[in-house]
Structure 1
Amino acid sequence: MKIKNMFYVSLGFLFLGLGIVGIIMPLIPTTPLLLLASYFFVKGSKKFELWFKGTAIYKNHLEEFIKERSMTRKKKIMINLFADAMIAVAFFMTESTVVKVVLLLIVAYKYYYFITKIKTV
Structure 2
Amino acid sequence: MTIRKLGYLALGFLGLALGAVGAVLPLLPAFPFLLLAAYGFGRSSRRLERWFKGTRLYRDNLVDLAAGRGLTRRAKVRIMGTVTAVMAVGFVMMHAVPVGRIVLGCVWVGHLLYFRFRISTVPEKDPTVDH
Q: Report the TM-score when normalising by structure 2.
A: 0.80
Change (3 A) 1:63 1:89: same
Find the counterpart in structure 2 of residue 34 from structure 1. 34
Gaps of 5+ in 2: 123-131
The runs of at least 4 consecutive aligned structure 1 residues that moved more than 3 Å come to none
Find the counterpart in structure 1 of residue 44 from structure 2. 44
Higher alpha-carbon deviation: 110-119 or 68-77: 68-77
CA contact (8 A) 1:27 1:78 kept: no
Displacement, 1:103?
A: 0.6
- Determine which structure has the larger helix proportion and give its number: 1
Q: Give the aligned residue type for 2:111.
A: K
Change (3 A) 1:90 1:26: closer
Find the counterpart in structure 1 of residue 88 from structure 2. 88
Q: Report the TM-score when normalising by structure 1.
A: 0.86
Displacement, 1:107?
A: 0.5
Find the counterpart in structure 2 of residue 102 from structure 1. 103
CA contact (8 A) 1:69 1:119 kept: yes
Q: Any idea what SS the aligned residue of 2:67 has?
A: helix
CA contact (8 A) 2:38 2:52 kept: yes
C-alpha separation between the residues in 2 aligned to 1:30 and 1:69?
19
C-alpha separation between the residues in 2 aligned to 1:4 and 1:103?
34
Query: Structure 1 vs Structure 2: percent identity of aligned residues?
Result: 40
CA contact (8 A) 1:71 1:119 kept: yes
C-alpha separation between the residues in 2 aligned to 1:19 and 1:30?
4
Change (3 A) 1:26 1:90: closer
Residues 29-69 of structure 1, C-alpha deviations (whole Å, 9 max, x = no match): 32222111101212333332222123333223221221143
Gaps of 5+ in 1: none
C-alpha separation between the residues in 2 aligned to 1:106 and 1:116?
15
